[in-house]
A and B are shown apart, each in its own frame.
Chain A
């Protein structure tokens, strides 16, 4: 079974600095999709960024980018120029591309932004 591991329960970063959140996953499949979701204090989960495993190019969305290392099964999220509004729980997630399967989430990393 696939698993997603986020080894950092909490992280802090100074405003305007850069922070990287780690995520590793375990799968025997070669085709899959990876996601990062954000859950602010409002509790509303929103998609931050997604990556297709067959694409070598790392996805980027404004200040958010990923470092996708397929062989290492690693999918880290980099947040540049951190802002106070980035404070949230961040969840890494996996979904198979071969089966109509559920999305599997990691346990999350709580990110604090220090003013």
Chain B
């Protein structure tokens, strides 16, 4: 399975600012996924990032709030823009290297607190 390096691991940010989260994979992958895990809750998919094309956002998530970059097959960033306390969550990136038969690998997550 792939190894994912995600950073920062945690941050405390002021409301109204933006934070960019980075996800680096040790192998080339077609799809990278960004999830949000709000406190005490399950994971919700934000968007799917494919290299060379616009990210595909799930219902309730928009590009202006969560812009995503995918410059190559091993790297992606998620920006949380104009943050409010409601954005306090764990953000995780994920990849699937085996067309879902191998299971998905997750980064260790970014714990974001907005004050």
A and B bound?
Answer: no
